[in-house]
Amino acid sequence: MPKPELSSYRPDLARELAARNETSFRYRQVYEHLTHHRGVPFSVATSLPGELREALEALGHSTLGLHSRADDPDGTTKLLLRAVCDKVSLETVIMRYRKRVTVCVSTQAGCSLGCAFCATGSLGLNRSLSAAEIVDQVQHASVLLAEEGRKASNVVYMGMGEPLLNLDAVLLSLRLLHDPKGWGMSARSLSVSTVGIPSGIRRMAREEPQVNLALSLHAADDALRSSLIPANRRYPLREVMRACEDHFALTRRKLFVEYLLLEGVNDSPKQATALADLLKGRVVAVNLIPWNPGWGEFRPSSPEATDAFMNALRSRNVEVSQRESRGASISAACGQLVAGTRPKRPARPQASRPDDARPSGGVTGKPKEIVPPAKSTKRRPPPTRDGR
């Protein structure tokens, strides 16, 4: 596997140094500049010779350029970034909490999976990002946070794209971020979310056993999950859960299960019981996520349905928490990232409701209007434990 060094992070810079017959000391200097002096142009790196500074500056200290930013009053910032090489757009989200800051990075420009509830999937896949383009999202976030006297404490791979379909770049970016001589983050402060690619889950376990794994589950049976996540037809639940068992056998790390609650689709107490049965005997924590308007004809579950779902899981001794939705006013919440573009495909029909959730008389007429979740007078739940 590639080592976390300049040649793996920025091969273009390494080639420039090689063409100049520079010593290994120079490679280390340039790598240190990128990782320790984040966002600082090479032109002011006075430890490097002037001619070399000019050559490196022409190649750039980042593979991404900042196009725009948007800020939500809740402390969330969305960055629209563009690749220097081809101007491909992607989005990165910064979430500020009282005692931590989480950066949510994208691994692909767009996404090929087409999940029924996610706006990113409506774009299709443009291309996968390089390891440098993943890491440089953290670089841009770090520059912004440094101006506030803060720094990123967690990085979650939960932005645009399916990380395990860009696994080589993702694994290298993880190594770069937790390299003690580079970014110096803890491996346990990094989390990768996937819809469930069995081979990728097993490789993650072998190569990055300390990195958190989060599974985007959203349904406990294949029929419903396939209607929400088409990739489930290729990777059914039995195969995905077996891969998660293998991951735990190698890592002994808790699995974080992400479950998006959709009114009348997957939020009944009966479905909570099915979820508990699926997870029985596993070391897991379920993270319930509110649906954010942006794609698909869905409604978020009501506070009452959410509480009932949580209570049903707790009665079966399943650890569960509820994620607080952040950044919705700037389209930075889960499932809303579209990199400033419009969906290419028409809206899909709503996923089929299970029989026990279908209203009497069936579903007739036009699709239900998407409405925001009702406000609750209850106190906000504590932060979730999935790395965010």
The fold for domain 63-346 equals TIM Barrel (3.20.20)
Domain borders along the chain are 1-61, 63-346
Nearest to 320 by CA among 273, 387, 379, 257: 257
Among the options 104, 111, 118, 334, which is catalytic?
334
pLDDT of residue 331: 84
CB 310 within 8 A of CB 58: no
Q: Write out the DSSP string of 250-319.
A: HH--PEEEEEEEBTTTT-SHHHHHHHHHHHTTS-EEEEEEE--SSSSS--BPPHHHHHHHHHHHHHTT--
Tens of pLDDT, residue by residue over 174-202, are 999 999 999 999 999 999 999 999 999 99
Is residue 334 among the annotated active site residues?
yes
Calculate the alpha carbon distances from 42 to 1, 58, 60, 140, 339 in Å: 28, 9, 8, 16, 28
Nearest to 367 by CA among 349, 354, 343, 355: 349
Among the options 91, 162, 208, 263, which is catalytic?
91
How does residue 351 score in pLDDT terms, banded at 50, 70 and 90?
Answer: very low
In the predicted model, what is the mean pLDDT of residues 105-114?
96
Q: Tell whether the model's pLDDT for residue 342 goes beyond 70.
A: no
Calculate the alpha carbon distances from 332 to 3, 326, 360 in Å: 33, 7, 36
pTM attached to this predicted model: 0.88
How does residue 386 score in pLDDT terms, banded at 50, 70 and 90?
Answer: low
pLDDT of residue 353: 43
How does residue 344 score in pLDDT terms, banded at 50, 70 and 90?
Answer: low
Tens of pLDDT, residue by residue over 7-51, are 999 999 999 999 999 999 999 999 999 999 999 999 999 999 999
Indicate left, alpha or beta for 105 from its phi (over 0: left) and psi (-120 to 50: alpha): beta
pLDDT of residue 338: 84
Sequence-separated (6 or more) residues with CB below 8 Å from residue 295 = 116, 117, 118, 119, 121, 122, 335, 336, 343, 347
How does residue 292 score in pLDDT terms, banded at 50, 70 and 90?
Answer: confident
* Average pLDDT of the chain, as a whole number: 89
* Dihedral sign computed on CA atoms, order 161, 167, 168, 174: positive
Which has the higher per-residue pLDDT, 123 or 385?
123
Query: What burial letters (b/e) apply to 75-101, b meaning 16+ CB within 10 Å?
Result: ebbbbbbbbeeeebbbbbbbbbeeeeb
CB 48 within 8 A of CB 56: yes
Name the 3-class secondary structure at 96: strand
* % residues pLDDT > 70 (the chain): 87
Range in 141-155, 298-312, 321-335 with the lowest mean pLDDT: 321-335
How does residue 335 score in pLDDT terms, banded at 50, 70 and 90?
Answer: confident
Is residue 5 among the annotated active site residues?
no
pLDDT of residue 29: 96
What is residue 112's DSSP assignment?
S
Q: Tell whether the model's pLDDT for residue 368 goes beyond 50.
A: no
CB 113 within 8 A of CB 180: no
The burial of 2, by beta-carbon neighbours within 10 Å (0-12 exposed, 13-18 middle, 19 or more buried), is given as middle
